[in-house]
Amino acid sequence: MQRYAVIGHPLGHSLSPLLHNWGFRECGIDAQYEAIPVAPAELTRFMARVRVEPLAGLSVTIPHKQAVMGLLDGVSYAASTLGAVNTVFWKEDRLWGENTDVLGVETPLRGLGPFHSALVLGAGGAARAVVFALQEMQAPEIFVAARDAGKAKALAEALAAKPVAWEDRARVQARLIVNTTPLGMLGERQDQSPWPADAPLSPAATVFDVVYNPLRTRFLAQAEAAGCRTVSGLEMFLHQGLAQFRLWTGRNLDPDKVRDLLRQALK
């Protein structure tokens, strides 16, 4: 039996085992996917173990997305540009790193554009993946706004976007607005939104919230009320996971079936 895993520290509840183990069963693949907490001090030793056992593939989450890069034989252009790996797989006999978050952004937005201007809220790893994906989609103008102005400026400079002060975010006339902050996430931030309550949203805008739990965040509710087209964060999680599965197995899963599976789990 082949073994796959998600590694991070701490590892909260993840839908990845549900997605991938369902996929293995669906395709008749003798494999198992598990969650393995790996502390930062244990990462080097763990990655040595991956080569010896070997593990057939990994999902990589916080805080290892950057650190794991130096422990691999190579990384893709996207992963190198973003400075982050979320997927580890074997390429012949070499351990390789990829970032499928980019496909997680591009796939649900395909066919919804073109977006002549885009506003990305937040400046963390997800924001970097979103900006990179929008550049791949040839969005001509990409703005970045974050509560930490220094991080927004650094991200904008690294990826040729335009920084905007957090307090000025609602003044940007963007046809696509993407939230990559944790505002609205299940828990203590669930009632929060990255968009000011008194600021109108254009009904011509598309609003994408990468938060997927809850499925309908406060931000998406604001967007729906304004008549915007909305994209749930579940779509990003779904398509980055499908891309991982394809890298590991060469097989394509039915996105509609996996979406239903994940929706039921979140309910």
Is pTM beyond 0.75? Reply is yes
Active site amino acids: 65
Cβ pair 252, 13 in contact under 8 A: no
65 and 158 share one domain = no
pLDDT at residue 190 in the model: 96
Q: Are residues 181 and 153 in the same domain?
A: yes
Here the CATH number for the domain that contains residue 249 is 3.40.50.10860
Q: Which helix (H) or strand (E) holds 51?
A: helix 43-52
Tell me, yes or no, whether 121 and 224 share the same domain.
Answer: yes
**What's the domain count of the chain?**
2
Quote the pLDDT of residue 82. Answer: 93
pLDDT score at 257: 98
pLDDT of residue 8: 95
On whether both 170 and 247 belong to a single domain, the answer is no
pLDDT at position 13: 80
What pLDDT is stored for residue 267 in this prediction? 85
- Cis preceding linkage at 114, omega within 30: yes
Segments in 57-211 forming alpha helices (H):
77-82, 101-109, 125-136, 149-158
Residues of the chain with pLDDT below 70 are none
pLDDT of residue 11: 87
Residues 109 and 219 in one domain: yes
Domain range for residue 157? 103-231
